[in-house]
Structure 1
Amino acid sequence: MPTLDTAINGDPDTGADLTPYGGVTADAAWAEEIRSLAQQRDAVLLAHNYQLPEIQEIADHTGDSLALSRIAAESDASTIVFCGVHFMAETAKILSPDKTVLIPDARAGCSLADSITGEQLREWKAEHPGAVVVSYVNTTAEVKAETDICCTSSNAVDVVASIPAEREVLFCPDQFLGAHVKRVTGRENLHVWAGECHVHAGINGPELAERAAADPDADLFIHPECGCATSALYLAGEGAVAEGRVKILSTGGMLTAARETNAESVLVATEVGMLHQLRKAAPETDFRAVNDRASCRYMKMITPAALLRSLRECADEVHVAPEIAERGRASVQRMIEIGTSGGGE
Structure 2
Amino acid sequence: MAAFVNALHQAPIGEAYTGLSSEELDRRIAAAKERLGRDLVILGHHYQRDDVIAFADHRGDSLKLARIAAELDARYIVFCGVHFMAETADILTADEQIVVLPDLNAGCSMADMAAIEDVEVCWDLLTEQFGDTIIPVTYVNSTAAIKAFVGQRGGLVCTSSNAEKVFAYAWAQKKRILFLPDEHLGRNTGAAFGLSLSEMAVYDPQEMALAYPHGEGDPRLILWKGHCSVHQRFEPHHVHEVRRRYPGIRVLVHPECRYETVQLADACGSTEFIIRTVKQAPPGTKWAIGTEHNLVNRLAQEHPEQFILSLNERICPCLTMNRIDRPHLLWALENLVAGTPHNVIRVEPEVARWARVAIDRMLALA
TM range (shorter): 0.7 to 0.9
Residues 202 and 294 in structure 1, CA contact (< 8 A), matched pair in contact too = no
1:277 Cα shift?
4.2
CA distance in 2, matches of 1:76, 1:104: 20
Residues 112 and 139 in structure 1, CA contact (< 8 A), matched pair in contact too = yes
Which of 301, 311, 318 is residue 296 of structure 1 equivalent to? 318
CA distance in 1, matches of 2:62, 2:305: 27
Query: What are the equivalent positions in structure 2 for 1:152-171 lying under 5 Å apart?
Result: 152-162=159-169, 163-164=171-172, 167-171=175-179
Matching of residue 54 in structure 1 with residue 51 in structure 2 = yes
Which of 12, 27, 36 is residue 32 of structure 1 equivalent to? 27
Query: What code does the residue aligned with 2:310 have?
Result: A
What is the TM-score normalised by the length of structure 2? 0.80
Residues 49 and 277 in structure 1, CA contact (< 8 A), matched pair in contact too = no
Q: Name 1:260's counterpart in structure 2.
A: 280
Matching of residue 230 in structure 1 with residue 264 in structure 2 = no
Matching of residue 45 in structure 1 with residue 75 in structure 2 = no
CA distance in 2, matches of 1:43, 1:291: 37
1:232 Cα shift?
4.1
CA distance in 2, matches of 1:74, 1:258: 28
SS in 1 for 2:47: coil
SS in 1 for 2:88: helix
Q: Which runs of 5+ in 1 are unaligned?
A: 1-15, 237-245, 341-345
Q: Which runs of 5+ in 2 are unaligned?
A: 1-8, 200-219, 336-340
What RMSD in Å do the two structures reach over aligned CA positions? 2.1
Which of 272, 276, 281 is residue 293 of structure 2 equivalent to? 272
Identity of aligned residues (%): 35
CA distance in 1, matches of 2:319, 2:13: 9
1:17 Cα shift?
8.2
Q: Name 1:135's counterpart in structure 2.
A: 138
Which of 310, 315, 325 is residue 332 of structure 2 equivalent to? 310
CA distance in 2, matches of 1:220, 1:179: 19
Q: Name 1:90's counterpart in structure 2.
A: 87
1:185 Cα shift?
1.7
Residues 188 and 262 in structure 2, CA contact (< 8 A), matched pair in contact too = no
Q: Which has the larger Rg?
A: 2
Residues 211 and 290 in structure 1, CA contact (< 8 A), matched pair in contact too = yes
1:126 Cα shift?
1.4
Q: Which sits farther off after the overlay, 310-319 or 321-330?
A: 310-319
Q: Name 2:66's counterpart in structure 1.
A: 69
CA distance in 2, matches of 1:232, 1:212: 15
Q: Name 1:5's counterpart in structure 2.
A: none
Q: Name 1:204's counterpart in structure 2.
A: 235
CA distance in 1, matches of 2:142, 2:174: 26
Q: Which ranges of 4 or more aligned residues in structure 1 deviate by more than 6 Å?
A: 16-21
CA distance in 2, matches of 1:174, 1:64: 17
1:294 Cα shift?
3.5
What is the TM-score normalised by the length of structure 1? 0.84
Change over 3 Å in CA distance of 1:170–1:277 after alignment to 2: same
Q: Which sits farther off after the overlay, 57-66 or 323-332?
A: 57-66
Residues 115 and 195 in structure 1, CA contact (< 8 A), matched pair in contact too = yes
CA distance in 1, matches of 2:53, 2:141: 20
